[in-house]
Amino acid sequence: KFALKQLGAILSPQSNQIVIQPWDISYIEPIEKAISLSGLGYSAVVDKDIIRLNLPLLTEEYRQALAKSLNEKAEQTRKTIRHWREEAWNEIQQSHKDKKISEDDKFRGKDELQKVIDDYTEKIKNLIENKKNELTTI
């Protein structure tokens, strides 16, 4: 898997269109397939050595659907962060159990872990708020 920008040039000749020009034409089919499987609802049209994406107009209904999708992605991210916190906490507890760290270090680690989790949760919250504001601003 590669980031799209690593596979070719990405242009926007019109406000509702994106053109992808892969540097290697053998990537055209995999890129088109990835776009269609992404679930974003974009239709990819192959035109010789480029791929055109026609984007839907930003109607109120479409904006609401994007906001809903944004909320779902944010919740998935928060769940992942909680899972990582649980894994890290289990590692800290195991280190304490194996006498690799002291009781004080165990709780210091827990506090530091929670600070990191809180920071990233706040960043997610701010990103979501900013994106929602962008979506609702015409």
- Tell me which DSSP letter residue 8 carries: E
The model's pTM is 0.63
* Extents of the domains making up the chain: 4-54, 60-136
Smallest Cα–Cα separation from 51: which of 81, 30, 82, 78?
30
Q: Which CATH architecture has domain 4-54?
A: 2-Layer Sandwich (3.30)
More confidently predicted of 42 and 69: 69
74 confidence band (pLDDT: 50, 70, 90) = very high
Give residue 138's pLDDT: 64
Give residue 31's pLDDT: 83
- DSSP output for 13-68: EETTEEEEEESSGGGHHHHHHHHHHTTS-PEEEEETTEEEEEPPP--HHHHHHHHH
Give residue 113's pLDDT: 94
Fold held by 60-136? Topoisomerase I; Chain A, domain 4 (1.10.132)
